[in-house]
A and B are shown apart, each in its own frame.
Chain A
Amino acid sequence: MEMSLPFSRPWPAGKTAVAELKDRPESSFPLARRYADKMIAHAREEAPNECCGILAGPANEGRVEKLYHGINAEKSPVRYNIDPQQLLSIHEETEAKGWAILGIYHSHTHTEAFPSATDVRLAFWPDSTYLIISLKEQGEPVIRAFSIRDGRIEEKQVVIGE
């Protein structure tokens, strides 16, 4: 089924992800469709609680190679907190591979895909992109991406590729 992802646009055909990345403005976040699908499925599985997870890949390429389903230690419809022991394991694995934590995702089950005051206050990973999946409109999940640094929010274009 074709998934509707507002605020995203398809990658041009016939170009590699890496080559495309260089052509794009810095304020974009390339995301293969399979990962977008997994994030939305994860959000739906965890609803009404929030889901959370990590997108990691080679630091120098900015290409997502792996999606980690996070364990939400809060098990809450309004809060997420990736289980501390799992967070350490994922961090160690990505360090060992020479990867960066490119994205941190979570769901908003009843509100827009925009950082809340809590999201901004607890944004301790300024070099990672924060992705939010909104299930506010059940039939039309939305994924948006943001840089959150020093309390400032800057939206990035989610660029869906294959």
Chain B
Amino acid sequence: MAVEVRLPMILQKVAGGAKTVKVEGKSIHEVFDNLEKNHHGFASRLFDNEGNLNHFIMVYVNNEDIRLQRGMQTELKDGDVITLLPAMAGGEDCCR
């Protein structure tokens, strides 16, 4: 069962410049495992040192944020579209 994964610019180079890749998997967890198998380097960008999904990577299945679903266990159907987007975040550090 294949899903389409849409990659942001910062992850496209890991996939050899591809904007989208087809990946097998019945859950987000499986898809990310297979992404790493097919294109080594994804895992280090998607997960922190404890293996948790990086807080600043947004993952959507058919435009729904997986954090509002079952997270990494979110189930997938054939033809689902997964979009990965890095957060737009930052802010001043300073003391007043």
Complex A-B: 28 CB contacts under 8 Å? A50-B91, A50-B92, A52-B88, A78-B92, A78-B94, A79-B89, A80-B91, A87-B58, A87-B85, A88-B60, A88-B65, A91-B85, A108-B92, A111-B92, A111-B94, A115-B90, A116-B90, A116-B92, A121-B90, A122-B56, A122-B89, A123-B90, A124-B10, A124-B87, A125-B8, A125-B86, A125-B88, A126-B10
B 14-30 contacts with A by CB, 8 A: none
A 47-71 contacts with B by CB, 8 A: 50, 52, 54, 70
Report the separation of the CA atoms of residues A91 and B93 in the bound assembly, to the nearest whole angstrom: 27
Question: Given A84-B87, A92-B63, 20 other A-B contacts at CB below 8 A?
Answer: A50-B91, A79-B89, A80-B88, A80-B89, A82-B88, A84-B65, A115-B90, A116-B92, A117-B93, A118-B92, A118-B93, A122-B56, A122-B89, A122-B90, A123-B90, A124-B86, A125-B8, A125-B10, A126-B10, A130-B90
**Residues A126 and B9 in contact in the complex (CB < 8 Å), given A84-B65, A87-B58, A117-B93:** yes
Contact of B91 among A54, A74, A84, A127 (CB under 8 A): A74
Q: Is the CB of B86 within 8 A of A78?
A: no
Is the CB of A104 closer than 8 A to any CB of chain B?
Answer: yes
Q: Which residue of the partner chain A has the closest CB to B91?
A: A79
Point out the residues of chain A lying under 8 angstroms from B63, CB to CB.
Answer: 88, 92
Q: Is the CB of B92 within 8 A of A82?
A: no
Q: Is the CB of A84 within 8 A of B58?
A: yes
Q: Is the CB of A82 within 8 A of B94?
A: no
Is the CB of A138 closer than 8 A to any CB of chain B?
Answer: no
Q: Which of A76, A81, A130 has the most CB of B within 10 A?
A: A81
How far apart are B73's CB and chain A's nearest CB, in angstroms? 19
Q: Is the CB of B93 within 8 A of A78?
A: yes
Report the separation of the CA atoms of residues A9 and B3 in the bound assembly, to the nearest whole angstrom: 49
How far apart are B54's CB and chain A's nearest CB, in angstroms? 10
Q: Which residue of the partner chain B has the closest CB to A107?
A: B92
B 59-91 contacts with A by CB, 8 A: 60, 63, 65, 67, 83, 85-91
**Residues A81 and B89 in contact in the complex (CB < 8 Å), given A87-B58, A126-B9, A127-B9:** yes
